[in-house]
A and B are shown apart, each in its own frame.
Chain A
Amino acid sequence: DTGVSQDPRHKITKRGQNVTFRCDPISEHNRLYWYRQTLGQGPEFLTYFQNEAQLEKSRLLSDRFSAERPKGSFSTLEIQRTEQGDSAVYVCASRLTGQGIDEQFFGPGTRLTVL
């Protein structure tokens, strides 16, 4: 499968714990996006990377959230001191720029449940 993959697919944690999610984009895609989707809503933008550089962060991304893309390939999203309000599906997408293609390709998401 050469699509966007995310791991884990599901994560249940207790309030106050730290969690980390991984996203593997489509090979050679230089842009990587993180979105958050809550029940009954569409995805909301969190942050994005151009290669290894994090270029923009949404105000939704509090200081408890940190994202990295150290080698410009896979990315991790860490949430520290999780709160019940963090429960959502965290969705990753990737895109190849400079080819005249505007389409983002989405992963299946990681469903986080904070108890």
Chain B
Amino acid sequence: KQEVTQIPAALSVPEGENLVLNCSFTDSAIYNLQWFRQDPGKGLTSLLLIQSSQREQTSGRLNASLDKSSGRSTLYIAASQPGDSATYLCAVLPDGSSNTGKLIFGQGTTLQVKP
């Protein structure tokens, strides 16, 4: 059974710092992995999607990497800003669920960027 874990559960950093959020999964047979952002009271916003054949994806100050063999993904945020404060969730789409689209989420990391 695929399990997704995110550590730490919460993180507080001063503005301007570069930071890394971690996501690990137990079964390397994944179709893709996504990073989402969730603001309080709002829906999930997709940040980056990495297909299983890819190693990384970049969007602006965000860079996500994927190492399937070790069951790990990282989300790198450069030059953090207070507006980056939110909960970040990673989700995997297992190979066996590529048709159904059943995502398996981690618990999330709540990030606070202090001015």
Contact = CB atoms under 8 A, between A and B. Distances in A.
A48 B101 contact: yes
A35 B32 CA distance: 19
Nearest to B105: A42
Interface in B72-109: 89, 91, 93, 98, 100-108
Contacts of A108: 41-43
Range of interface residues on B (Cβ < 8 Å): 20 to 34
Contact of B102 (A3, A41, A56, A105): A56
Q: Is the interface of B mostly helix, strand, loop or mixed?
A: strand
A109 B9 contact: no
B42 A42 contact: no
Contacts of B104: 45
B43 A102 contact: no
B107 A102 contact: no
Range of interface residues on A (Cβ < 8 Å): 20 to 34
Contacts of A91: 43-44
A48 B103 CA distance: 11
A95 B43 contact: no
B43 A107 contact: yes
The interface centre, meaning the residue of A35, A55, A106 with most chain B CB atoms within 10 A of its CB, is: A106
Nearest to B51: A102
Interface of A: 3-4, 31, 33, 35, 40-45, 48, 55-56, 91, 93, 95, 97, 102-109
